[in-house]
Homo-oligomer: A and B are copies of this chain.
Amino acid sequence: AILAALPLEAPTTPALSNDQRLVGKHVLVTAGPTHEPIDPVRVIANKSSGKQGFAIAAAAVKAGARVTLVAGPVSLATPAGVNRIDVQTANEMADAVAGALPADIAIMVAAVADWRVAPSDVKLKKDAGAPDLQFERNPDILATLGEHPERPGLLIGFAAETNDVVANATSKLERKKADWILANDVSGDVMGGDRNRIHLVTADGVEDWDEASKADVASHLIDKIAESIS
């Protein structure tokens, strides 16, 4: 069902601006949380609103790219000109990402659950006692792309951290074989909020960006991408 939503041919991106910097490029973006079911009504979720990823998808379209946006459950309108694929779980997101390859640039913004549980078919009853959740590791989408035969030429991950932000992001860059990690401190109200403060971690070092709106972060990231591939 997910694959059926993928266009067989590249759709015509509407000419939203004269910005041609990413014309001819396929940009693959993930956004939002994943929901891992516990039973038919309960899920393990996270506070990601999808705003940063949607803003990046919109900015990539504006720069002329063909954009595929794989979105977890969020309450956001699809930016004009974006091909959106909705998913719930990390497994579904991994499948949708793999199905959207090849891509020139992949920007993995979604806050993907590290763990899923084997869900119950019926609603768990309170009187049955505390849930006994058996966790199973979810696929690591960024690391999978890092080692994929069709690895995107520019592979960018996000690291939402609450402590040791840059150190954790630097470690993530190496482990996931990503090119860039955009790290942010989510101990405040970044998740769900409208502003973000980014540390761009690359093999060359760390660049601290000023706090900005998520739209401005998106626009700045697309500037960096356009520079890097030109």
- State the A residues within 8 Å of B (CB): 35, 38-48, 75, 111, 113-115, 121-126, 130-131, 133, 135, 137, 160-163, 168, 186-187, 191
Question: Contacts A75-B75, A130-B115, A161-B123 hold; do A187 and B45 have CB atoms under 8 A apart?
Answer: no
Question: Contacts A47-B43, A186-B41, A187-B40 hold; do A162 and B115 have CB atoms under 8 A apart?
Answer: no
Closest residue to A43 on the B side, CB-wise? B45
Question: Contacts A123-B161, A123-B163 hold; do A38 and B47 have CB atoms under 8 A apart?
Answer: no
In the complex, given contacts A38-B44, A41-B48, A43-B45, what are 7 additional A-B residue pairs having Cβ atoms less than 8 angstroms apart? A41-B111, A42-B47, A43-B46, A115-B130, A122-B163, A123-B160, A131-B135
Closest residue to A74 on the B side, CB-wise? B75
Copies in the complex: 2
A113 proximity list for chain B (CB < 8 A): 42
Contact across chains for A42 and B46 when beta carbons are under 8 A apart: yes
Bound CA span A158–B168, Å: 44
Most B CB atoms within 10 A — which of A39, A130, A168? A130
Nearest chain B CB to A219 CB, angstrom units:
25
Nearest chain B CB to A230 CB, angstrom units:
35
Closest residue to A132 on the B side, CB-wise? B135
A137 proximity list for chain B (CB < 8 A): 126, 130
Question: Contacts A115-B131, A135-B130 hold; do A162 and B38 have CB atoms under 8 A apart?
Answer: no
Can you list the 6 inter-chain pairs with the closest CB atoms, starting with the nearest?
A130-B135, A75-B75, A114-B126, A45-B45, A123-B162, A40-B162
